[in-house]
């Protein structure tokens, strides 16, 4: 089982590149953003709470996301491994993930961080918002808040994996093919 965390600020290409990675490496895609958006759409009470947080660009509480991740991993455990997209987003989630994977005799093998500068992120997110209709991609202030949240709460996760010797940074600027090639070179050097 080979488990990867695809990491990076909003708009760095995690979701897009995940689709290619799962196909090539036969991994199961676990996107917490997708799971949360599905819950949000369901109209449940929990979905309403999630909507309020996502639409403002704030993080959903750790325990709520962890519960979804645990259910997903348990239901899909027989695969070749997972690509965690958008998770962990806090150091607490990272420590929780280590512990949870240990329970199923697995581990994170690599955190692959897509590096893209802020102006480019904003451009990409606004362009995506005009197509996808995602409320959190359509408003510049909310985009800025998401980037701020990334810096304050999510970036410390990098040091967590650096300390474990499992961090790799990848230049996320270029064509989709160019970035994918860099990603594959990195994964192959860790496999």
> Among the candidate windows 20-28, 82-90, 113-121, 174-182, which touches ligand AMP by CB under 6 A?
82-90
128 is catalytic: yes
Q: In the stretch 36-55, what mask flags binding to ligand AMP with x, by CB under 6 A?
A: x----------------xx-
What does the alpha-carbon distance between residue 119 and residue 74 come to, in Å, rounded to a whole number? 39
Under a CB-based contact definition with an 8 Å cutoff, are residues 122 and 57 in contact?
no
Among candidate residues 28, 89, 124, 182, the one labeled active-site is 89
182 is catalytic: no
89 is catalytic: yes
What does the alpha-carbon distance between residue 170 and residue 113 come to, in Å, rounded to a whole number? 6
What does the alpha-carbon distance between residue 81 and residue 109 come to, in Å, rounded to a whole number? 10
28 is catalytic: no
DSSP 171: E
134 is catalytic: yes
Among candidate residues 70, 122, 134, 166, the one labeled active-site is 134
Per the DSSP assignment, residues forming a β-bridge with 101 are none
Please say which residue, 24 or 148, places its beta carbon nearer to ligand AMP: 148
Q: Cis omega (within 30 of 0) on the bond before 142?
A: no
What does the alpha-carbon distance between residue 172 and residue 29 come to, in Å, rounded to a whole number? 19
Of 29, 124, 146, 182, which one interacts with ligand AMP (CB under 6 A)? 146
Please say which residue, 5 or 168, places its beta carbon nearer to ligand AMP: 5
DSSP 90: S
* Smallest separation (angstroms) from ligand AMP to the CB of 167: 18
Among candidate residues 14, 28, 124, 182, the one labeled active-site is 14
Catalytic residue numbers, as ranges: 14, 89, 128, 134, 146
């Amino acid at each position: 089982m080979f488990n990867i965390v695809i990491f990076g600020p909003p708009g760095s290409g995690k979701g897009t590149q995940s689709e290619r990675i799962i196909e090539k490496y036969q991994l199961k895609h676990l996107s917490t953003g997708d799971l949360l958006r599905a819950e949000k759409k369901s109209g449940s009470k929990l979905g309403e709470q999630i909507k309020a947080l996502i639409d403002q660009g704030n993080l959903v509480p750790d325990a709520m996301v962890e519960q979804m991740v645990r259910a997903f991993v348990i239901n899909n455990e027989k695969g070749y491994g997972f690509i965690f997209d958008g998770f962990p987003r806090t150091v607490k989630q990272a420590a929780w993930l280590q512990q949870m994977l240990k329970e199923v005799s697995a581990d994170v093998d690599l955190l692959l961080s897509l590096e893209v500068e802020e102006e480019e992120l904003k451009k990409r997110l606004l362009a995506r918002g005009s197509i996808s209709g995602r409320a959190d991609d359509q408003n510049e202030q909310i985009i800025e808040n998401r980037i701020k949240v990334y810096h304050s709460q999510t970036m410390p996760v990098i040091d967590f994996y650096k300390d474990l010797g499992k961090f790799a940074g990848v230049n996320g600027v270029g064509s989709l093919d160019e970035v994918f090639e860099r990603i594959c070179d990195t994964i192959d050097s860790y496999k």
